[in-house]
């Protein structure tokens, strides 16, 4: 546990650093925070000389987040390569010879595969699938693509709607996704460039027409393909599939392999629980999978296993057993198997020896690594990563002698901002479990003063909070710090990065153990004399919203609470959510088999003792945490005379993924806590505003 003396020394360092930079910085507006550009996927060309990556930006006019592809070659400054009007460009992929970059975009005809030459030129569509495509991969010889697309809507359904209107049978009407193949012939011109004529023979064959490649369906039957990878030698394709596209069917997914010459298929992996394809071995003889084996009752919080399977014999061996975390997202190259996993608040890259199965961490990299891409040889890789005081950037590095070279400069956006300084602190919870949290102090922090405290709780529960210069989502953390508050973000039990045993601590203890972790963190800061316990607020979204709801009905410590898309009643949640197994696994029961545990862990069960003014925020069409939970909490609080408000964000599901509504949700939190923590009445600004909060 970090000592009080160490924490006070860190506080002194915070103050010194802030005083040096304070004159040159300002606190950004809500709009500026929401408008931050960020890097997403990154891909390295087969020869390691070209890099493409996606960048998300904010389009306030169209009220959407746009994603486009940026490009750079050795020594050049990155530049924007694509521009899909009223849509995004995603999933960049270099051709095997590096001369083409393919990507997906909807340019008025659903999502299709586009490609452009890396030497320059305009992008062209190479598929024309009426249903659109959801994923693709180059064939290793560059002769074409394999891709996924959903089945056509049945004619019977269209006829039914003409007579009976729109309705559906729950969990019985869906479109499966299958694997298709199409050739790549860039030398052919577009059909519109050549006239077509009807011949005079009886068959009415059109003559003089270009014959563009036609797609061929590869898989069939009552199943849906989740992901796939073509073997490096191009002879086979392996794919993850499940019986239908419904989210709960993923618990029984399997893996098959198809011979691309004969189209014969073989079921390779069929454990009772979920199996997911990761990658092929470089020699095309084995596949790497992540699997829960036969665990169908605790896979939400236990570790998945990484397993190598011989395609010819079906024999298997487990690897990376020394990594105590849920595993996935690995890439196999000759030098080893690579992937990034959470390790507390850091996210290092691990290299796994495919023969011994032993892992090792790559050093001399940023603290947190996200997207990864390797060249053909595995000697170079590109990645996105950051340290705790930085925004994510795009890097390249050799894999043998790690020396990261930064290609992007997203950090320039916040160069003049007064950003959050972060420190990871630790304390003991009520039951002795060690809990970590990220602490943010105001820029003018004075050790002798006590400050208002705002606790922000992440979702998941297998999410994680880490040091970052711009924490947020719909919580104006930078502005609260500027206003003179301390902010604590708690990695409560169940969070990712702390191992399987820690993730299991809230099984049959949801809400209860989580509230111990939050309140013990508050007590820890109070014992150091840092906070004014008469001016505290708490908030969170999803699982963080649930914990906030639990705290609003079981404690009287906070002056105000905000519940974002939170669960108020596990029974209500269980019968409405799209992931029923989540509740059964964490509570090890159904409401009918053990109603007591459902009551004990439900905020609504304690509604009679609630007194904290509570803001509730919810998406209108939330399937993950249905809005009935919001209405139930609202009515329960009002029936007991507790100040409560509900804001419904129209047209949204579980997250607020458009900038204007995210701005509204941020203002709603600013108003709520301003009123109850600072005693201010804040009006929602209308008309032209500079957006900067005073």
pLDDT in tens, 198-235: 665 544 455 556 667 899 999 999 999 999 999 999 99
Whole-Å CA distances, 83 to 64, 66, 320, 384: 15, 9, 41, 22
Whether the CB-CB separation of 35 and 414 falls below 8 Å is answered with: no
Whole-Å CA distances, 529 to 4, 5, 200, 484, 517: 10, 13, 94, 16, 19
Show the tokens assigned to 626. 């249905």
Report the alpha-carbon distance of residue 384 to residue 439 in Å, rounded: 24
Give 634-637's long-range contacts (Cβ < 8 A, gap of 24+). 636/568, 636/604, 636/607, 636/610, 637/552, 637/607, 637/610
As a CATH number, domain 126-188+212-324 is 2.120.10.30
Question: For residue 494, what pLDDT band results from cuts at 50, 70 and 90?
Answer: very high
CATH 2.120.10.30 domain extents, the chain? 126-188+212-324
Mean predicted lDDT score pLDDT of the chain: 93
Show the tokens assigned to 105. 């975009």
Whole-Å CA distances, 510 to 116, 210, 378, 379, 460: 51, 63, 43, 45, 12
The mean pLDDT value for 501-511 works out to 96
Per residue in 243-296, pLDDT tens? 999 999 999 999 999 999 999 999 999 999 999 999 999 999 999 999 999 999
As a CATH number, domain 4-28+418-677 is 3.40.50.1820
pLDDT for 74: 84
The CA angle 31-33-36, to the nearest 5 degrees, is 105
Choice among 156-165, 572-581, 640-649, 668-677 with the minimum mean pLDDT: 156-165
**Residue 157: pLDDT over 80:** yes
Global pTM value: 0.93
**Residue 17: pLDDT over 70:** no
Whether the CB-CB separation of 585 and 614 falls below 8 Å is answered with: no
The mean pLDDT value for 593-611 works out to 98
**Residue 318: pLDDT over 50:** yes
Whether the CB-CB separation of 362 and 370 falls below 8 Å is answered with: no
CATH 3.40.50.1820 domain extents, the chain? 4-28+418-677
Show the tokens assigned to 276. 């997911």
Per residue in 451-493, pLDDT tens? 999 999 999 999 999 999 999 899 999 999 999 999 999 999 9
pLDDT for 187: 84
Report the alpha-carbon distance of residue 557 to residue 534 in Å, rounded: 8
Structural element, H or E, at residue 147: strand 144-150
For residues 632-670, one letter each, b for 16 or more C-beta atoms within 10 angstroms of the residue's C-beta and e for the rest, the string is: bbbebbeeeebebbbbbbeebbbbbebbebbbbbbbbbb
The mean pLDDT value for 505-526 works out to 97
pLDDT for 203: 46
pLDDT for 18: 45
């Amino acid at each position: 546990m970090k000592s009080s003396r160490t924490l006070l020394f860190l506080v002194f360092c915070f103050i010194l650093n802030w005083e040096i930079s304070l004159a040159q910085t300002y606190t950004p507006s809500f709009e500026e925070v929401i408008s931050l550009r960020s890097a997403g996927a990154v891909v390295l060309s087969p020869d390691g000389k070209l890099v493409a990556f996606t960048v998300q930006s904010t389009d306030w006019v169209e009220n959407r987040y746009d994603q486009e592809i940026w490009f750079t070659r050795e020594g050049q400054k990155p530049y924007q390569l694509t521009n899909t009007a009223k849509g995004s460009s995603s999933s960049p992929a270099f051709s095997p010879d590096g001369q083409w970059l393919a990507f997906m975009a909807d340019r008025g005809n659903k999502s299709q595969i586009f490609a452009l030459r890396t030497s320059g030129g305009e992008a062209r569509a190479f598929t024309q699938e009426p249903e659109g495509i959801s994923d693709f991969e180059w064939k290793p010889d560059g002769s074409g693509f394999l891709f996924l697309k959903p089945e056509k809507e049945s004619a019977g359904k269209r006829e039914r709607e003409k007579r009976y209107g729109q309705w559906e049978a729950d969990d019985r009407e869906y479109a499966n996704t299958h694997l298709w193949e199409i050739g790549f012939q860039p030398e052919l011109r577009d059909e519109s460039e050549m006239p077509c004529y009807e011949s005079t023979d009886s068959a009415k064959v059109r003559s003089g027409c270009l014959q563009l490649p036609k797609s061929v369906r590869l898989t069939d039957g009552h199943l849906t393909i989740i992901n796939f990878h073509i073997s490096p030698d191009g002879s086979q394709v392996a794919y993850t599939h499940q019986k239908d596209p419904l989210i709960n069917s993923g618990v029984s997914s399997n893996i098959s392999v198809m011979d691309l010459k004969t189209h014969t298929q073989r079921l390779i992996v069929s454990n009772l629980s979920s199996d997911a394809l990761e990658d092929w071995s470089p020699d095309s003889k084995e596949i790497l999978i992540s699997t829960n084996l036969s665990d169908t009752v605790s896979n939400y919080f236990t570790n998945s296993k990484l397993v190598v399977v011989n395609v010819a014999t079906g024999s298997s061996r487990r690897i990376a057993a020394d990594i105590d975390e849920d595993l996935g997202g690995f890439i196999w190259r000759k030098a080893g198997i690579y992937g990034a996993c959470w390790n507390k608040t850091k996210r290092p890259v691990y290299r796994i020896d495919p023969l011994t199965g032993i892992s090792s961490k790559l050093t001399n990299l940023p603290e947190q690594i996200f997207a990864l891409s390797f060249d053909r040889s595995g000697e170079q890789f590109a990645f996105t990563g950051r340290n705790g005081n930085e925004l994510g950037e795009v890097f390249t590095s050799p894999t043998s002698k790690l020396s990261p070279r930064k290609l992007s400069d997203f950090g320039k956006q916040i160069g003049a901002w007064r950003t959050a300084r972060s420190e990871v602190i630790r304390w003991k919870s009520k039951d002795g479990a060690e809990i970590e949290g990220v602490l943010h102090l105001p820029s003018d922090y004075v050790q002798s003063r006590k400050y208002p405290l705002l606790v922000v709780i992440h979702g998941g529960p297998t999410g994680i909070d880490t040091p970052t210069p711009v924490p947020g989502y719909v919580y104006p953390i930078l502005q609260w710090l500027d206003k003179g508050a301390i902010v604590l973000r708690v990695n409560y039990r169940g969070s990712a990065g702390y191992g399987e045993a820690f993730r299991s601590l809230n099984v049959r203890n949801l809400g209860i153990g989580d509230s111990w972790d939050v309140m013990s963190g508050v007590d820890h800061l109070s014992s150091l004399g840092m906070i004014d316990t008469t001016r505290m607020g708490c908030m969170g979204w999803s699982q963080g919203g649930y914990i906030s709801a639990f705290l609003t009905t079981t404690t009287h410590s906070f002056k105000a609470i905000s519940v974002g898309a939170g669960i108020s009643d596990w029974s209500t949640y269980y019968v409405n959510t799209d992931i029923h197994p989540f509740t059964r696994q964490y509570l090890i029961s159904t409401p009918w088999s053990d109603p007591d545990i459902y009551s004990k862990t439900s905020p609504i069960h304690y509604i009679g003792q609630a007194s904290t003014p509570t803001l509730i925020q919810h998406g209108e069409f939330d399937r993950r945490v249905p809005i009935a939970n919001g209405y139930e909490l609202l009515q329960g609080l009002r029936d007991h005379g507790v100040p409560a408000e509900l804001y419904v964000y129209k047209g949204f599901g579980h997250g607020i993924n458009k900038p204007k509504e995210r701005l509204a949700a941020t203002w709603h939190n600013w108003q709520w806590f301003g009123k109850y923590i600072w005693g201010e009445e804040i009006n929602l600004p209308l008309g032209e505003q500079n957006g900067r909060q005073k």
